[in-house]
Structure 1
Amino acid sequence: MKPLKMYTIPFVGLKQGKHHFEYEIDNTFFEYFEFDDFNAAQLKADVTLDKKSAHLEFHFDVSGTVNVNCDITNEPYEQPISNTFDLVVKFGDDYNDDYIDILMVPHGTFEVNVQQYIYETAVLGVPVKRIHPGVEDGTLDSEILKKLEELSPKEEDDKNKDSEDIDPRWNKLKNLLTDK
């Protein structure tokens, strides 16, 4: 996969200190990664590069909303997300991205592509269980919720079933536990 050029930050010509980069993220960004869990995305990625003499420090802040389907009702809704990530880029002999928050790049590297880090920060900002706000407060009127309510076991039926449908032979076996 060829990296997207707009997410490549050339740091060689930058002075030491903080530098800010802003990116608007939509569905085309996620299509590049073949990620289709979002119906729509309106995200803003703020990337701060703090250039030091021996290394680089990146701070990623991704926030906005994504349109996802509810895990219970499959109804689409707007899920607000906000997530941050810090990355340290050090210089060494070889490229090494084995660590989560440390990236080693060879000496002589003059740019860093941040698209993968923006992608991961955005995707990890979405809750694991996506529940429509209307389900939590009871205002969502959905056929799926009505069917789930209809098919759910009733408490009264369970209590009556336990007391009426017990085979009397089991009661004799229960006495074995109490007769010691």
Structure 2
Amino acid sequence: MKALTQYDIDIYGLKEKQYVFDFESKNEFFEELEQELIESGHFKTHLKLDKSATMLMLTFHIVGKVELVCDRSLEVFEEPLDIQERLILKFGDHNEQLSDEIELIRQDTVRINVASYIFEYIALALPMKKLHPRFRTDEEELEDEEEVDGILVYQTPEEETPEEPEEKDPRWAALKKLKGN
């Protein structure tokens, strides 16, 4: 936990204005968090903290790279990431996460630690399918993706369905003539 103390921000004595903090995260950061998703990486985080009487608004800009293992070839590769996120910490009488972007913190909170937020944003920015960059062009050619209402929809090539043979029953032919009128 020693490496994570550098992510502590004493908010008790801060005046109501904007503050800027810069953090650098290396392999020790990921080791200290006791997680297995990311083993190594290097990030720089630029954090703007706007303090008001009722809340803290944190704006994160995280730039760096993380080492991942390719799902297809098991080769290690570096994945570059450039992340911008916003978090609002509202003062209240208890701690509670209201949504992905809004949390309640106790009014008497003296210090916040932003390490878990930084890791969460990095983890959420990782691709679901961890493919080495040399495989990505092959994968994109196989799938045709389209964005519909902010959701990626993957379309596969449609198979041609054989046309049904014409019915030989004369009653159907008579009905088709009526349909045309």
TM-score by length of 2: 0.69
Letter in 2 for 1:22: D
**How many residues are matched?**
143
2:72 is aligned to 72
Which residues in structure 2 correspond to 1:39-78 (within 5 Å)?
39-78=39-78
1:39/1:105 Cα in 2 relative to 1: closer, same or farther (>3 Å)?
closer
Contact 1:83–1:124 (CA under 8 A) maintained in structure 2: no
Question: Comparing both structures, which one devotes a greater share of its residues to helix?
Answer: 1
Question: How far has the Cα of 1:63 moved from its partner?
Answer: 1.4
1:118 is aligned to 118
Contact 2:18–2:51 (CA under 8 A) maintained in structure 1: yes
Structure 1 residue runs without a partner (length 5+): 139-176
Contact 1:27–1:40 (CA under 8 A) maintained in structure 2: yes
Contact 2:71–2:131 (CA under 8 A) maintained in structure 1: yes
* In 1: Cα distance, 2:115 partner to 2:104 partner: 17
Secondary structure (helix, strand or coil) at the match of 1:63 reads: strand
Deviation track 1:107-144 (CA, whole Å, cap 9, x = no partner) reads 22222121111110111111111211122357xxxxxx
Contact 2:95–2:105 (CA under 8 A) maintained in structure 1: yes
Q: Percent identity?
A: 32
1:106 aligns with 2:109: no
1:156 is aligned to none
Deviation track 1:73-120 (CA, whole Å, cap 9, x = no partner) reads 111111101222211111111111242211211222222121111110
Secondary structure (helix, strand or coil) at the match of 1:73 reads: coil
1:3/1:69 Cα in 2 relative to 1: closer, same or farther (>3 Å)?
closer
Letter in 2 for 1:119: F
* In 2: Cα distance, 1:137 partner to 1:98 partner: 39
1:84 is aligned to 84
Structure 2 residue runs without a partner (length 5+): 139-163, 168-181
Question: How far has the Cα of 1:178 moved from its partner?
Answer: 6.4
* In 2: Cα distance, 1:40 partner to 1:116 partner: 16
Contact 1:3–1:113 (CA under 8 A) maintained in structure 2: no
* In 1: Cα distance, 2:35 partner to 2:27 partner: 9
Question: How far has the Cα of 1:9 moved from its partner?
Answer: 0.7
What RMSD in Å do the two structures reach over aligned CA positions? 2.5
Question: How far has the Cα of 1:33 moved from its partner?
Answer: 2.2
* In 1: Cα distance, 2:91 partner to 2:39 partner: 39
Letter in 2 for 1:36: E
Letter in 2 for 1:12: Y
* In 1: Cα distance, 2:3 partner to 2:94 partner: 19
Secondary structure (helix, strand or coil) at the match of 2:99 reads: coil
1:38 is aligned to 38
TM-score by length of 1: 0.69
Deviation track 1:45-89 (CA, whole Å, cap 9, x = no partner) reads 111101123211001121111111111111111110122221111
* In 2: Cα distance, 1:94 partner to 1:106 partner: 5
